[in-house]
Amino acid sequence: MIMQGKLIVGLDLPNVADAEKVVRELDGVVDFYKIGYRLVFGGGLEFARDLAAEGKKVFLDMKLLDIDNTVAEGVENIAMMGVSMLTLHAYPKAMRAAVAAAKGSDLCLLGVTVLTSMDEDDVREAGYADDPATLVRKRAAQAREAGMGGIVCSAAEAASVREILGNDMAIVTPGIRPAGAERGDQKRVMTPADALRAGATHLVVARPIIGAPDRRAAAQAILAEMQAA
């Protein structure tokens, strides 16, 4: 199925044993997985290497941000792990340092614009004068100028940032919820079909799949919806 490479299943699980079980259950249906903080601190980095060695695609969601040299050194080591995607916060200096460090590798660097758990009140409380949509567009432009591989944003902003990014950069959208699914702590959400129509290239789905009674069927249903779009 052509959509298989566009669906990224978030392994937001407490340990590697649980993550391995999900990967086994989804074998042949999904080949792209997100590993974030929770699993990273439960042995997830070695698991990421193992998945990559097995031919799976790995989206390492670390949201790096530090002084330029530290970001660059981290990216250099991550590029050698064989993972496909890596996130860092979309601060111009950090992005430029990461791009320089990843040069010559196949690592796709993604700038995280505004977290999908944040709305306008949250953004203003954090000290930004812009509303989320404006801030996303501003950071998308900075990511393009820095030479990043793409950005992470809400699907609600995908259409507007596609005009900024052109056709060559990835738009990865978390906060994807099939019709009728609970939002959880996400505030800016969209269905899989609508996200693709808006211009997203990759959809990150965690709870609607890993929390489903039949994970394989849940993933297949989302893929079918994506294919229909």
The structural domain count of the chain equals 1
66 in a known ligand binding site: yes
What φ, ψ does residue 135 adopt, rounded to 5°? -65, -40
**Token pair for 65:** 């941000």
At 166, which helix (H) or strand (E)?
Answer: none
- 83: helix, strand or coil: coil
The verdict on pTM exceeding 0.75 is yes
118 in a known ligand binding site: no
- 104: helix, strand or coil: coil
- Out of 6, 21, 57, 63, pick the active-site residue: 63
Domain range for 161 is 2-228
Residues of the chain short of pLDDT 50, as ranges, are 186
Instruction: Provide CB contacts within 8 A for 108, sequence distance 6+.
Output: 84, 85, 86, 149, 150, 170
CATH number at residue 57: 3.20.20.70
pLDDT attached to residue 119:
86
pLDDT attached to residue 168:
93
Active site residue 63: yes
pLDDT digits (tens, 9 = 90+) for 175-198: 888 865 565 554 556 889 999 999
Residues 34/206, Cβ–Cβ less than 8 Å: yes
pLDDT attached to residue 2:
63
Residues 225/193, Cβ–Cβ less than 8 Å: yes
Residue 91: DSSP 8-state:
-
pLDDT attached to residue 182:
60
34 in a known ligand binding site: yes
CA dist 88 and 97 (Å) reads 11
pLDDT attached to residue 177:
80
CA dist 229 and 216 (Å) reads 20
